[in-house]
Amino acid sequence: MSRLSDLLEVIGTRRPVFVQTHDFPDHDAIASAFGMQGVLRLAGVPSRIVYGGDLQRDSLRRMIRDLGIEALSAATVQMRTADPVVIVDGCKGSKNVTELPGDEIAVIDHHEVNSPDNVPFIDIRPDTGACATLIYGYWGDAGEVVPAPVATALMIGINMDTALLTRQVSRADIEAYADLYSRADIRLENSILRNSIQTKDLAFYRHALENVQIADRVAFCWFPNGCNQNLLGILGDFFISLEEAEFVVLCARNANVINVSVRNERESWNASRIVQAALDGIGFGGGHADMAGGIIRDLDGISGPLLHERFLAALRK
Mean of pLDDT values over 190-205 = 94
pLDDT at 233 over 80: yes
**What confidence tens digit (pLDDT) does each residue in 202-228 have?**
999 999 999 999 999 999 999 999 999
Q: Secondary structure of the chain: what % helix, strand, coil (to 5)?
A: 40, 20, 40
Torsional sign, CA 151, 153, 157, 160: positive
**Domains of the chain: residue spans and CATH:** 3-194 (3.90.1640.10), 199-316 (3.10.310.40)
**What confidence tens digit (pLDDT) does each residue in 237-262 have?**
999 999 999 999 999 999 899 999 99
Structure confidence at residue 229 (pLDDT): 87
pLDDT at 37 over 80: yes
The full DSSP string for 91-147 is -TT-TTSPPPSSEEEEEEE-SS-PPPTT-SEEEE-TTSS-HHHHHHHHHHHHT-PPP
Structure confidence at residue 93 (pLDDT): 87
Q: H or E segment at 255?
A: none
Question: Which of 263, 258, 227 is CA-nearest to residue 245?
Answer: 263
Pairwise CA distance, residues 285 & 270, whole Å: 12
Pairwise CA distance, residues 120 & 104, whole Å: 9
Structure confidence at residue 306 (pLDDT): 98
Average pLDDT, the chain: 96
Instruction: Let me know: does 111 contact 288? Beta carbons within 8 Å.
Output: yes
Structure confidence at residue 94 (pLDDT): 87
How does DSSP classify residue 222?
E
Judged by DSSP in three states, 190 sits in helix
**What confidence tens digit (pLDDT) does each residue in 75-128 have?**
999 999 999 999 999 999 888 999 999 999 999 999 999 899 899 999 999 999
Q: Is the pTM of this model over 0.85?
A: yes
Q: pLDDT exceeding 90 applies to what percent of the chain?
A: 95
In the structure, what pLDDT confidence band is assigned to residue 38 with cuts at 50, 70 and 90?
very high
Structure confidence at residue 205 (pLDDT): 97
Pairwise CA distance, residues 225 & 244, whole Å: 26
pLDDT at 1 over 70: no
**What confidence tens digit (pLDDT) does each residue in 137-166 have?**
999 999 999 999 999 999 999 999 999 999
The full DSSP string for 46-109 is -EEEEESS----HHHHHHHHHTT--EEEGGG----TTSEEEEESS-TT-TTSPPPSSEEEEEEE
Question: Which of 246, 249, 255 is CA-nearest to residue 297?
Answer: 255
